[in-house]
Amino acid sequence: MFRPAACALCSIAFLALSPLANAGPNADIRTLERDFNAAYAVNDLDKYFAFYSDDATLWFPEGRTDIPSYKKMWTEYVGSGGGIRAAKLSDLHIRFSPLGDTAIASYELHLKTQDPGKPIVNEDYQETDVWFKLNGAWKITHVHYSPAPKTPHQP
């Protein structure tokens, strides 16, 4: 008589402790950000640009650009021997719209970058990515990417 109840409790405990219990939009965005930045870190341009919507707006230190312009510039840069040599994401914060179809991910990005023929440089950036769920898939629709201050902000 206690056996069915014990089995039910074990099943509930198993599900609560399983990775599926933590699944959902937050986990999806964390995984997408990890994969997006991993593709950036190894200059996998096809995979990297597949994360963006075709009409994304990008704000970089040089100003605002669009996907076709950025793709052309970054492809030429990587083709000339430049690129990212390592990338590490930290301090990831994620917020969702009330409808759950928009996510804002902000984080620090620590890079090792190399211009063609030059030594590797360590750089720190602050990035905010806006993700929209479009046709059932999350896509980056806006990026703001700027150098991180040398000394952290003290509230």
pLDDT in tens, the chain (155 residues): 445 544 444 444 444 444 444 468 899 999 999 999 999 999 999 999 999 999 999 999 999 999 999 999 999 999 999 999 999 999 999 999 999 999 999 999 999 999 999 999 999 999 999 999 989 999 999 999 999 998 766 66
Cβ-count burial of 29 within 10 angstroms (0-12 exposed, 13-18 middle, 19+ buried)? Answer: buried
- Domain made up of 24-147: CATH architecture: Roll (3.10)
pTM score over 0.85:
no
Radius of gyration of the chain (CA): 20
Contact 124, 148 (CB under 8 A): yes
